[in-house]
Amino acid sequence: PLSVSDMMDVNEDFYVKTNDPEWEYSETMSAEQGAAAPYIYFSQEALHVPGTFGSYRINVESNTKWRVSVNGGNWCSVVAAEDLSYFDVNITENTYGYSRTMYVTLVGAITRTFEVTQQAASITADNEALHYPRSGGSYLINLSAEASWNTFTAADWIDVSQEEGQAGEYEIVISAAPN
């Protein structure tokens, strides 16, 4: 990357001289060049992610040095590569029940902002209404979770084969005792 001093206008003198020892000729000339315009480009315009925890790499193309700051909450951290070619966005699971947004700002000769939006974590089951006969029974439930979870019931006639878990896919047996 160019340094800040590389982004200033340049005006230099140079000389044209003859190689002939019998003819002493010299002419001063000047050269001017406008400054390079600083830029910072991201490999994508924004980041939209599900409610799970995760790490995402955003590549950066820039001709200026930059530093990173994060605005919008402590659910996200950002680590820049030493060579400033990318930054990693590390996100915790979103158990708040609504989507959330934060901003990563790169500050250098110019400032660019990158938006990160995370959806609320979801937990879904393939059967949410269980109807047992008086004799009791069991259901196998496929559970898909984007965050850690646990089950709770005050009913002493219901038994759950697994009471808690992390993000992932699960098969859970929910049994009912005879009535």
Confidence at residue 73, expressed as pLDDT on a 0 to 100 scale: 81
Q: DSSP letter string over the chain?
A: ---GGGGS-EEEEEEEE-S-TTS--EEEEEEEEPPPPP-EEESSSEEEE-SS-EEEEEEEEESS-EEEEEES-SSEEEEE-TTSSEEEEEE----SSS-EEEEEEEEESSEEEEEEEEPPP-EEES-------TT-EEEEEEEEESS-EE-----TTEEES--EE-SEEEEEEEEE---
137-145/149-150 β-pairing: unpaired
In this predicted structure, which of 14-18, 69-73, 166-170 has the lowest mean pLDDT? 14-18
Check whether 24 has a pLDDT greater than 70. Answer: yes
Confidence of residue 170 (pLDDT cuts 50, 70, 90): very high
Check whether 33 has a pLDDT greater than 80. Answer: no
Q: How far apart are CA 48 and CA 31, in angstroms?
A: 48
* Averaged pLDDT score across all residues of the chain: 89
Q: How far apart are CA 117 and CA 100, in angstroms?
A: 6
Percent of the chain with pLDDT over 90: 72
pLDDT in tens, 113-136: 999 999 999 999 998 899 999 999
- Greatest mean pLDDT among 26-30, 69-73, 79-83, 123-127 lies in 79-83
Confidence at residue 75, expressed as pLDDT on a 0 to 100 scale: 93
